[in-house]
A and B are shown apart, each in its own frame.
Chain A
Amino acid sequence: MTGLAWLAGTRDLRWRWRRFLIALGGTALTLAVTLLLSGFRAGFDLEAGTSVRTMGADGFVVQAAQTGPFTTIGVLDETLADRVARLPGVTGAAPVVTARHAIDTRPALDVYLVGARPGGLGAPAVSEGRAAERPGEAVVDARARRKVGDRFTLAGRTFTVVGKVRGASVWGGVPTVYVTLEDAQAVVFGGRPAATAILTKGRPTGDLPGTKTLTARQARADFIRPLKNAVASIGLLQVMLWVVAAAIIGSVLYISAIERSREFAVCKAFGTSSADLVAALALQALLLTTVAALAAVALARPLAGLFPAVVSLTAGTAVLLFAVAAVMGLAGSLAGIRRALVVDPATAFAGP
């Protein structure tokens, strides 16, 4: 970056500050939305990771025909847990019942039901209150908007909230409700002593007939799989917004380049190199996108709180935003740069 490129770039930004401010606002809003979309997408991963981690299991034994413990329901006998516990590599095993359900309110509140033995694998560590220990007790995620002591009905059964957990939602903000294994069996299997999966501490070195064991990573992938289309759509939307951001920056720089044609001609006439002109315009694009990205980060934080879904804004996402914004800004400035490069220095001699 030469002194002339810096001087020409920064002075023009200052001179046309109103226009650049408008572009900055539009770009910042666009980038903030892309950042929120990134956070939304990362939220799916975060939820899946938290949900699997909360279960505290190293392995998830399911029916061999099942794709995973969360997205398809396969019925296992509860007593299978005792046989799994005796497999080499396993130090503990417990049955768990998981299913999508809804709290009987108007409108119904979708929840993810998890039934586990009190204090065993699958039961969460509560952040408020205590764990569900008896039938009719439930621990709910904060997104269920229920306080300790509240009562609710699910599948015609009444539950009392005895504890709360945070960050235990799935699929974009669906709160998890933890109940005892017996209650979950009553809701899902009509009271049969069945389970949808057997959670293990330690990983079995082999599988019982008709079953397979998924790792925590595979279980997490199973959690996210139904969101594949949503994730792809979000990604596509992000790309479109990047293009919009590039178009905003590009159009402002292009209009400026048209207006500055005489200035470019004069600069060329006194020997300014093409590299300096390119650098001056690229500098403007980079400064605009960097400031817009900073504003986007500042905007996205309070906006994230307005979303019912989990929006996970991480430092990595912000860094990625700056990198992509810089690339988009430079791409957007190409039309303006081309315009500057084709200006004939002889036009500097033209009259006013």
Chain B
Amino acid sequence: MDLIVRGLTVEYRSAAEVVRPLDGFSMDASSGSLVVLLGPSGSGKTTLLSCLGGILTPAAGSVAVGETEVTALDRRGLLDYRRRTVGIVFQSFNLVAAMTAAENVMAPVLAAGRRRRAAAGRAAELLGQVGLADRARHRPGALSGGQQQRVAVARALANDPPLLLADEPTAHLDRTQVAGILDLLRAVVEPGRLAVVATHDERLLSIADVVVDLEDG
């Protein structure tokens, strides 16, 4: 599934002025590639990810993922899009503290309407892929930052989405953990899947197929 973004504008009011973190932004990306959105804080990286994820509705412009015109979807269509088309890795892991690693991965599968047994099987498979099969029953608090980020990646891949979004995936990791996550992100980008990673960490440039510098617009 290819990604096509055209004239994307997001605006909100801050006090008396209108702020536009994205103003007529456009980009294209092909399936099977890893796109790095580079830019400092406030450059609109996270806003763009929110639009790509069907979480934020832009003031103008369009986002198309494959045949799906995301910006034209209604509420139910967006819900379905978020379930089946997008997986998101958040900046601060955002794992559910009350659930084990396996249950965190199961959650999106269950949200998509699949049965518990299928969800448990998928979680075991993915945790195996990210090297955490032996930590499946641990809660996030018992995992290191790198391990939590791996669980977050596994959760993002739970419904085998064609679009993977990652927001500052290395922000809270130490040097050795960063290397592991870079390898993992690179490894999950396969034919049929597009990854868009927002970061200000230039170490991610080494795994990028495409770099979009948001500072330069």
In the bound complex, do residue A346 and residue B50 qualify as a contact, i.e. CB atoms below 8 Å apart? Answer: yes
Residues in chain B near residue A128, CB distance under 8 A: none
CA distance A266 to B56 in the complex (A): 14
**A137 is an interface residue with CB less than 8 A from chain B:** no
CA distance A352 to B97 in the complex (A): 14
Q: In the complex, which residue of chain A has the Cβ closest to the Cβ of B155?
A: A270
Q: Which residues between 248 and 274 of chain A lie within 8 Å of chain B, taking CB atoms?
A: 262-263, 266-273
Chain B interfacial residues counted at CB < 8 A: 39
CA distance A4 to B98 in the complex (A): 13
Residues in chain B near residue A346, CB distance under 8 A: 50, 55-56
**A276 is an interface residue with CB less than 8 A from chain B:** yes
In the bound complex, do residue B111 and residue A266 qualify as a contact, i.e. CB atoms below 8 Å apart? Answer: no
Most-contacted residue by chain A among B108, B112, B167, B171 (CB, 10 A): B108
In the bound complex, do residue A3 and residue B92 qualify as a contact, i.e. CB atoms below 8 Å apart? Answer: no
In the bound complex, do residue A4 and residue B97 qualify as a contact, i.e. CB atoms below 8 Å apart? Answer: no
In the bound complex, do residue A7 and residue B99 qualify as a contact, i.e. CB atoms below 8 Å apart? Answer: yes
CA distance A248 to B64 in the complex (A): 48
Expressed in whole angstroms, the minimum distance between the Cβ of A316 and any Cβ of chain B is 37
In the bound complex, do residue A270 and residue B88 qualify as a contact, i.e. CB atoms below 8 Å apart? Answer: yes
**B25 is an interface residue with CB less than 8 A from chain A:** no
Most-contacted residue by chain A among B49, B80, B98 (CB, 10 A): B98
**B106 is an interface residue with CB less than 8 A from chain A:** yes
**A14 is an interface residue with CB less than 8 A from chain B:** yes
Map CB proximity to A onto B172-195 as digits: 1 under 8 Å, 0 otherwise.
Answer: 100000000000000000000000
Q: In the complex, which residue of chain B has the Cβ closest to the Cβ of A352?
A: B92
In the bound complex, do residue B79 and residue A271 qualify as a contact, i.e. CB atoms below 8 Å apart? Answer: yes
Most-contacted residue by chain B among A15, A262, A266, A267 (CB, 10 A): A266
Given contacts A7-B106, A266-B96, contact A271 B82 (CB under 8 A): yes
In the bound complex, do residue B91 and residue A349 qualify as a contact, i.e. CB atoms below 8 Å apart? Answer: yes
**B208 is an interface residue with CB less than 8 A from chain A:** no
Q: Which residues between 77 and 103 of chain B lie within 8 Å of chain A, taking CB atoms?
A: 79-84, 87-88, 90-92, 94, 96-99, 103
Given contacts A270-B83, A271-B82, A349-B46, contact A14 B98 (CB under 8 A): yes
In the bound complex, do residue A271 and residue B55 qualify as a contact, i.e. CB atoms below 8 Å apart? Answer: no
Q: Which residues between 307 and 341 of chain A lie within 8 Å of chain B, taking CB atoms?
A: none
Residues in chain B near residue A3, CB distance under 8 A: 110, 115-116, 119
Expressed in whole angstroms, the minimum distance between the Cβ of A156 and any Cβ of chain B is 74
**A133 is an interface residue with CB less than 8 A from chain B:** no
**A110 is an interface residue with CB less than 8 A from chain B:** no
Expressed in whole angstroms, the minimum distance between the Cβ of B191 and any Cβ of chain A is 23
In the bound complex, do residue B82 and residue A270 qualify as a contact, i.e. CB atoms below 8 Å apart? Answer: yes
A-B interface pairs (CB < 8 A), number: 91
In the bound complex, do residue B50 and residue A349 qualify as a contact, i.e. CB atoms below 8 Å apart? Answer: yes
Expressed in whole angstroms, the minimum distance between the Cβ of B130 and any Cβ of chain A is 17
Residues in chain B near residue A350, CB distance under 8 A: 91
**B211 is an interface residue with CB less than 8 A from chain A:** no
In the bound complex, do residue B92 and residue A11 qualify as a contact, i.e. CB atoms below 8 Å apart? Answer: no
Residues in chain A near residue B171, CB distance under 8 A: 351
Q: In the complex, which residue of chain B has the Cβ closest to the Cβ of A345?
A: B55
Residues in chain A near residue B55, CB distance under 8 A: 268-269, 345-346, 348-349
In the bound complex, do residue A4 and residue B107 qualify as a contact, i.e. CB atoms below 8 Å apart? Answer: yes
Expressed in whole angstroms, the minimum distance between the Cβ of A104 and any Cβ of chain B is 67
Given contacts A11-B103, A14-B98, A352-B92, contact A270 B56 (CB under 8 A): no
Given contacts A3-B110, A270-B82, A348-B90, contact A15 B98 (CB under 8 A): yes
**A8 is an interface residue with CB less than 8 A from chain B:** yes
Residues in chain B near residue A268, CB distance under 8 A: 55, 82
Residues in chain B near residue A351, CB distance under 8 A: 91-92, 171
Most-contacted residue by chain A among B82, B83, B94, B112 (CB, 10 A): B94
Expressed in whole angstroms, the minimum distance between the Cβ of B117 and any Cβ of chain A is 9
In the bound complex, do residue B79 and residue A273 qualify as a contact, i.e. CB atoms below 8 Å apart? Answer: yes
In the bound complex, do residue A270 and residue B87 qualify as a contact, i.e. CB atoms below 8 Å apart? Answer: yes
In the bound complex, do residue B111 and residue A7 qualify as a contact, i.e. CB atoms below 8 Å apart? Answer: no
Residues in chain A near residue B112, CB distance under 8 A: 271
Expressed in whole angstroms, the minimum distance between the Cβ of B207 and any Cβ of chain A is 21
**A222 is an interface residue with CB less than 8 A from chain B:** no
Q: List residues of chain B with CB under 8 Å of any chain A CB.
A: 46, 49-50, 53, 55-56, 79-84, 87-88, 90-92, 94, 96-99, 103, 106-108, 110-113, 115-116, 119, 155-156, 158, 167, 171-172
